[in-house]
Amino acid sequence: MKSFGTAIILAGGKSSRMGFDKQFIEVNQDRLMDIVINKLKKEFKEIIIVTNKPEGYYKNQYIVTKDIIEGKGPLSGIHAGLKLSSSRYAFVVACDMPHINLDYIRYMKEFIGNENIDGSVTKYGELVEPFNGFYSKGIIENIEKHLLNQRRSINSLLKELNIKYVEESKAREFSPNWDMFINLNTQEDLIGYLKKID
Ligand SMILES: Nc1nc2c(ncn2[C@@H]2O[C@H](COP(=O)(O)OP(=O)(O)OP(=O)(O)O)[C@@H](O)[C@H]2O)c(=O)[nH]1
Ligand SMILES: [Mg+2]
């Protein structure tokens, strides 16, 4: 089994704050998702999209799948993605995070190395950034138990697992303004992003 050959993109949310489906946002006629996918392809052989609209994708370039435990938020997506992953650790990102940082991804791979952990994510003050992180295929059952107990929080699950944390100061060396963790929740977020890339 490969160690780090897989990236999972979560695209099964309701986009309630954005008001239209975030997975199909277009930037200069390209789908934002395609920009994300094309960057990830440089570092990952296997791309898995976990979506609630599989019909919206061409399936020859990547794996397209749906939640198995539906309607429980991002952990549902991580769960379905890990099930199909052929790698020991999968990189997990949200469909609305445009600033994929390949240098940071490479750093995280080395940081994990051969260690036997449940995942690796980045600290942010007292909080953690659950995306732009690596998760082990070994936590599938942990996620199932968590969701069956009606617990949806990734952060509360992480507290129960063996996670290796990257310090915020280290991550800031790669992304001083924290861009690589920015996600587009609202139309204001999207407008701000479009202005910046102009
Ligand atoms: N597969 C899957 N992905 C999800 C689910 N809920 C959220 N996501 C994804 O997780 C990421 C982070 O979620 P949010 O930023 O809260 O997105 P969202 O839930 O669509 O947006 P809001 O409705 O505004 O909260 C996004 O990439 C979502 O597409 C889900 O139930 N299943
Ligand atoms: Mg949400």
Please check the confidence at residue 59 and state whether its pLDDT lies above 90: no
3-state helix, strand, coil in the chain (%, to 5): 40, 25, 35
pTM of the entire predicted model? 0.98
Cα separation, 112 vs 4, whole angstroms: 10
Burial of 78 (0-12, 13-18, 19+ CB in 10 A): buried
Report which secondary-structure segment, H or E, holds 50: strand 46-51
**Model pLDDT for residues 154-197, shown as the tens digit of each residue:** 999 999 999 999 999 999 999 999 999 999 999 999 999 999 88
Domains of the chain: 6-197 (3.90.550.10)
ipTM of the complex: 0.98
Query: Ligand 1 center to residue 16 CA distance, Å?
Result: 9
Question: How many C-beta atoms surround the C-beta of residue 99 within 10 A?
Answer: 20
What's the pLDDT tens digit per position in 102-143?
999 999 999 999 999 999 999 999 999 999 999 999 999 999
The answer to whether the CB of 76 is under 6 A from ligand 1 is yes
Protein residue with least CA distance to atom 17, ligand 1: 13
Asked whether 182 lines ligand 1 (CB < 6 A), one says no
Measured from the Cβ of residue 116, the count of other Cβ atoms closer than 10 Å reads 9
Ligand 1 contact, 118 CB (< 6 A): no
56 touches ligand 1 (CB under 6 Å): no
Could you tell me the sign of the dihedral formed by the alpha carbons of 42, 43, 46, 48, in that order?
Answer: negative
